[in-house]
Amino acid sequence: MTVIIGVLALQGDVREHLVALAAADAVARPVRRPEELAEVDGLVVPGGESTTISKLAVLFGLMEPLRARVREGMPVYGTCAGMIMLADKILDPRSGQETVGGIDMIVRRNAFGRQNESFEAAVDVKGVEDGPVEGVFIRAPWVESVGAGAEVLAEHGGHIVAVRQGNALATSFHPELTGDHRVHGLFVDMVRAYRAAESL
């Protein structure tokens, strides 16, 4: 089954996600407008600067349509800043910062440190087979806590770094920067399952 997956193309590492999704056998498209959002089966919210992505989503008229589609069950995957965007609550939000929500979790921004404290680490992710993935952590958040509906998929250094709730997936790290497309493959499978259930 061919699935169309958008990448929210307001700011951040959009191109890398488009490449990774294509490598995981999805049709990948940038999404900047509500009418483009309406045409996709799933969406990736990339890393970047969460405050900027939030403000641009409001400016481009995407925030409310995004929230509506996530509530309706559209699969969504957020990396780094995208994880912050999918959190129901941010521990230390910037003034005016909004989230899409969708995962019952509290996220701490820049929890792993500043840009010069970026690092890579092997991370075992539940649902991803054939060994750990290489996680690239760049000014990465971590999850302080999750609610009953959210499942922890990975931890690093005693902190939660990957979470899933229903059709929403989030990682603190950037799998799109490594050439290992297994996490994107997991998300593509989530989108295929969603499309199959919709067509029943």
Residues designated catalytic: 80, 174, 176
Residue 187 CB partners (closer than 8 Å, separation 6+): 5, 24, 42, 44, 75, 77, 169
CA distance 172 to 110: 10
Rounded distance, CA 110 to CA 73, Å? 28
5 vs 113: CA distance, rounded Å: 31
Q: Which residues face 134 on adjacent strands? A: 122
Of the candidates 124, 129, 62, which has an alpha carbon nearest to the alpha carbon of residue 98?
62
Torsion angle defined by CA atoms of residues 47, 49, 50 and 52, in that order, rounded to the nearest 10 degrees: -130
List the beta bridge partners of residue 156. 159
Give dist(CA 48, CA 77) in Å, integer: 14
Query: 189 by DSSP, 3-state: which?
Result: helix
